[in-house]
Structure 1
Amino acid sequence: MQSVNRLPSLLAALLSAALTGAAGAQTTHTGLPCAGTTVTHAMGQTCVPKLPRRVVTLEWTHTENLLALGVQPVGAADLSGYAQWVRVPAALNASVQDVGTRQQPSLERIRALKPGLIITTRLRATQNYAGLSAIAPTIVFDPYAGGSQLAEMRATFQTTARLLGRERTAQQVLSNLDARLDRVRQDLKRGGRAGQSFVFAQAYTARGGAPTLRLFTGNSMLSELLTRVGLVNAWKAPAQPYGLSEVSLEALAGLNTTHFLYVAQQEDDVFGAPSVRPLWQALPFVKAGRAHALNERTWTFGGPLSALTLTGEISRALSSR
């Protein structure tokens, strides 16, 4: 996991790699000289017109990022899923059009919206990048390319802001996040929790009926946020591409942590199952009252507004015990 102190230099490097000034030698997806900004991204280089006004987002993070910048996309993928999971203080207008799933968005719906820019992620774009690029300039971000996921989140947000002419708004949003992290760090210190360990888990029943845990590794954005507020990740597994390890419930017995923060769905309470309850109730952090169930719709990914929501929820959970 990258040190928090290295975030400014990491951000500078990421932004330098992502953005270059407009250059006549670069061409648009139509073959014409670039009159905007040439962006180097996860799938190549793309000329983005100056201040595009009609933007389509194909991943929840990028939908959230636009809203945080005060911009409504003309179209976005999986609006119902976004409304269910992404709990941020910025709402989508009813006019935003659903363009299909994140995995397989409808090129026909996107084309009909006549976007000036499409923003997506490498995880989704490997199969449809050519088709998307034929419709409009398409930028592909990759939050799982390695390194600091927190630094990548910030750099992606700032790159998006620059393309849309919203740099000042982005700076204010990130300053608000940093201020919240500082306050939470001070609150935990005053409460005697500085340096305490945590494990963060998502618990669910996998296909086939096996109870499963996703434990967040040190390279996840979530872990970096909690490290930033003065906690220590007790799950020492090697860094994983998506920032989490999938393990069976047997791993619970080997966890040595002060706090166990977890998300589980009400209709899928794996810890309440008769076969699991004796093990669960015998765990030291459960007996000590330090197993903290978070809201079942807690979103552990996303942009700076999601990071604000997540940090606040964890702070409330830890302060209640």
Structure 2
Amino acid sequence: MSKNLLSDRRLSRRALLTVGAGIGGGVLAGGWPIALAQAAAPQAGPRVAALGWACAQTILALGVVPLVIPEIERYSRLVVEPAVPSSVQEIGLRSEPNLELLQSFSPDIIIVDPSITAAIPRLKLIAPVEVFTIFKPGRHPLETARSSTMELAQRLGVQAACEAYLARFDAAMAGYRDQLRGRSGKPLYLVSEIARNRALVFGPNSLYQEVLGQFGLKNAWTGQSGPWGHTSVGLEVLAAVPDARLVLMSSRVADIEALLNASPVLRTLPFLRSGRLTVLGNQFFYGGVPAAERFARLLAERLPQENNEQG
């Protein structure tokens, strides 16, 4: 398959029909930062089906509106940004997309996340398939995300939009770094889930580690973590870094407050006894460049100055 789908003769007629119908591109809306949304001018191109959230958020960030996305309501709650335009249709579960419905949309290309690679032989009966990958052994997730985003943009024929988007991303990250200057005193435990007496904590091979490194911030968890950058640990383990701050990447604050009241272990953790808790809201830790930007922006907005804090 040609790397640039717009030059593929089999797809050229569909691409022209897409332009004529005014489909295939759009302006990002919702909670997406204005600085990053500016490049999301309408893009004419192939009819794209996004069957995963990581590829979907990246496609939207590039200014391309896919035909379909799985589990749109859950995406809106858990991935959050970029927002899904109302023209995008639901295609079922991420683990089990509706192939009959997918075929009815006559996509020119299907983009999938690695979680459903087993379905690729069946998907190829509908349209060419590309896998969008963030996590690769031996590589940093954000570095992989950037290269995967550029490869995806080439396949969709939106290289110029991609270059502009990544330039704005770099500028935004530089701004967040300036905002966070002087707030690197205490290490941070990055946690997305707390259930019973265990926490899901993010380590050195996570997407977030690269963001912390760019900002001169320390990760309190230096132990091992799995291939996706996180691991489950007992809450008592977090007491090993008593001066840390807990950064909670979840919107279920009410549940956490209930846990604080109910869990004897949580109440003993020194950083919680001292009130060192920052809530960022839901983060999509399997995501790419847009997920890194959302994490960085909320961290810059909400992490307090505590260099002189003694608690």
Superposition TM-score, scaled by structure 1 size? 0.76
SS of 1:319 mapped into structure 2: coil
Tell me the CA shift for residue 279 of structure 1: 3.8
When the two chains are superposed, the root-mean-square deviation of aligned CA atoms in Å is 2.6
Aligned to 1:224: 210
Q: Secondary structure at the match of 1:62?
A: helix
1:97-119 deviations in Å (ceiling 9; x for gaps): 21110001111011111011000
Structure-2 separation of matches of 1:238 and 1:49 = 46
Of the three residues 52, 65, 86, the one matched with 1:72 is 65
Matched, 1:100 2:92: yes
Deviation of the 1:257 alpha carbon: 4.8
Query: Percent identity between the aligned chains?
Result: 27
Q: 1:95-142 deviations in whole A, cap 9, x for unaligned?
A: 21211100011110111110110000122222x111011111001133
* CA deviation profile, 1:178-221 (whole Å, cap 9, x unmatched): 222222222222xx22364211011233xxxx443111011111
Q: Identify which of 132, 144, 160 aligns with 2:123.
A: 132
Which whole-Å deviations, capped at 9, do the CAs of 1:201-258 have from their partners, x for residues lacking one?
11233xxxx4431110111111211111111212111242010011122222223453
Which runs of no fewer than 5 residues in structure 2 stay unpaired?
Answer: 16-44, 307-311
Question: Which letter maps to 2:256?
Answer: D
Q: CA deviation at 1:294?
A: 2.3
Name 2:22's counterpart in structure 1.
none
- State the partner residue of 2:21: none
Which residue of 2 is the match for residue 91 of structure 1?
Answer: 83
Pairing partner for 2:151 from 148, 156, 159: 159
Q: Structure 1 residue 93: deviation in Å?
A: 2.6
TM-score normalized by the length of structure 2: 0.78
**Which one of the candidate residues 55, 64, 68 is aligned to 2:48?**
55
Task: Give the C-alpha shift of residue 74 in structure 1.
Answer: 0.9
Deviation of 1:271 after TM superposition, in Å, equals: 6.5
Does the 8 Å contact 1:300/1:310 carry over to 2?
no
Q: For 2:255 and 2:10, locate their aligned partners in 1 and report how far apart those are by CA, in whole Å.
A: 45
Partners of 1:310 and 1:183 in 2: CA distance: 14
1:180 maps to what in 2?
172
More strand by share: 1
Tell me if 1:317 matches 2:302.
yes
How many matched pairs? 270
Q: Which of 228, 231, 235 is equivalent to 1:249?
A: 235
1:63 positional shift: 1.1
Find 2:189's aligned residue among 176, 199, 216: 199
Contact (CA 8 Å) 2:142, 2:288: kept in 1 or not? no
Q: Distance in 2 between matches of 1:229 and 1:49?
A: 44
Q: Are residue 291 (structure 1) and residue 284 (structure 2) matched?
A: no
| Conserved? CA contact 2:48–2:109, under 8 Å | yes
Unpaired runs of 5+ residues, structure 1, are 1-33, 40-46
SS at match of 1:37: coil
